[in-house]
């Protein structure tokens, strides 16, 4: 994922969510093809949910210092996870670009799009993982 795509995802409104959904679908499909487990993806998503919860408690118009710190610290965690499990590499790379843009903008609205994007990736990934399981059963 490059910066242009990341900005379109984070700034998506209205009709731009078609692009947002296509990108989430493409990323999820690639992650499923690389055999990333649903459990690993959920672990990453839960880390994001914790940051979201902390941000909501703060109730600020821009991302709190704690949220920004947590996002920054998420980057090395993801890098470590990707080194241990190579199927996470594509997700780690995409999230790094998105996190860098969030840190620059400090926008709560863009952070909400970030969370929604990852939620969509999780949902699409689940679909592709189930589809792969069904296809394996049919081949037997």
107 phi, psi to nearest 5 deg: -90, 125
Residue 60 has pLDDT above 90, yes or no: no
121 within 8 A of 31, measured Cβ to Cβ: yes
pTM of the prediction? 0.92
Residue 33 has pLDDT above 90, yes or no: yes
Residue matched to tokens 């118009």: 61
Render pLDDT for 81-140 as a digit per residue (tens, 0 to 9).
Answer: 999 999 999 999 999 999 999 999 999 999 999 999 999 999 999 999 998 888 877 776
Domain count, the chain: 1
Whole-number pLDDT of residue 134: 86
- The range of the structural domain enclosing residue 93 comes to 3-139
Q: How far apart are CA 122 and CA 127, in angstroms?
A: 9
């Amino acid at each position: 994922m490059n910066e242009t795509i990341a900005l379109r995802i984070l700034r998506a409104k209205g009709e731009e969510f078609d692009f947002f959904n296509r990108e989430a679908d493409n990323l999820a499909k690639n992650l499923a093809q690389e055999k990333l487990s649903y459990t690993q993806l959920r672990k990453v998503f839960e880390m994001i949910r914790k940051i979201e919860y902390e941000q909501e408690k703060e109730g600020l118009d821009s991302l709190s210092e704690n949220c920004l710190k947590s996002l920054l610290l998420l980057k090395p965690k993801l890098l470590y996870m990707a080194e241990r499990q190579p199927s996470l590499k594509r997700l780690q790379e995409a999230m790094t670009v998105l996190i860098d843009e969030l840190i620059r903008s400090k926008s709560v609205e863009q952070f909400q799009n970030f969370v929604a994007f990852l939620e969509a990736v999780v949902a699409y990934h689940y679909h592709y993982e189930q589809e792969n399981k069904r296809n394996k059963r049919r081949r037997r």
